[in-house]
Amino acid sequence: MMATVGDPMPVDETFPHLRKVHSSPEIYLIKDFLSEDECNALKAEALNRGLSQSPVKYGGWTQDVGEALRLLSVGPAVWIALLPELNAHGKSTIEIAVEVMGTWVAATLSFGVLLLGWAKWRETQLQALRTSTSVRLDASVSCAHKYEMRARQLLTLPSSETFEGVDIIRYERGQALKPHFDANREARLEDAERGGQVLATAIVYLNDVRSGGRTRFGRLGLDVQPQRGECLLFFPADKNGAFDERTEHEGMEADEEKWLARIWVHENAVSTRGVTATPARLAGA
């Protein structure tokens, strides 16, 4: 059952060309958010800096590993702890209890180490679901600063301290990003250093894509075809950080090159602004 999701962070409803294309959850399109020259400038700066494979993180791994460890600790770990005591003749109750507890702790810790290794392996498998290349631009770059300023106006924010910077992402023909969430169920634990939960995603398409490359919200039956300069705005979590699973989305396979510029807006100030391109959070299931 989905947790209750409240209202998203506020939007300037008078912003030029703002158009709501879905309600509950709210999704907006803003035509001509960036000019052709500004889009070209962002692409040129990205090419100048060099793009590398877009990173991926296993979102919610702490919850998955914790639940698996809990089940193992009350099942297999208990049986492992009891096995040596089947022939515990002549031992006192206290001696048996100490040995059982020690064996149980050792078994649980061993399972924990194995599960952490599995989580790391799973993250490498998830990387195959994201085949684009990307680079991070910070606000010292003029064209990125202009984008951030407009995003601040759109979201009525006094500063950009909750922004992660501008990620420029390129999809070449045949590349895609499988269904995923921008928010993280365990953001307060796993993403504390990067501002916690993602409250808003702003994507500006930097070129027209005539075929393929749509952004698809599968649970909502909504597709967005990239048009140069248009901004797609949606809210992966509500204004209080509650995860909204309805905003699951994907980047459909591109039939031609696709460029976009993305900003993630967090609930708290981001200490890693301008450091490196942001990993997509993909669920392990």
User: What are the residue boundaries of the structural domains of the chain, listed by start?
Assistant: 18-54+130-283, 62-125
Using alpha carbons, select from 205, 172, 189, 169 the residue that is nearest to residue 280.
169
* Least trusted range by pLDDT, from 3-12, 53-62, 162-171, 275-284: 275-284
pLDDT value for 67: 56
Beta bridge partners of 202: 233, 263
The CATH number of domain 18-54+130-283 is 3.40.630.10: no
What tokens were used for 125? 């498998």
pLDDT tens digits, one per residue of 47-68: 999 999 887 654 444 555 455 5
Beta bridge partners of 252: none
pLDDT value for 125: 46
Using alpha carbons, select from 73, 282, 29, 75 the residue that is nearest to residue 179.
282
Coil/strand/helix, residue 41? helix
b/e map of 189-198 (b: 16 or more CB within 10 Å)?
ebbeebbbbb
State the pTM of this model. 0.76
Distance CA(108)–CA(103), nearest Å, equals: 9
Mean per-residue pLDDT, 259-270: 96
27 phi/psi in degrees, rounded to 5: -135, 135
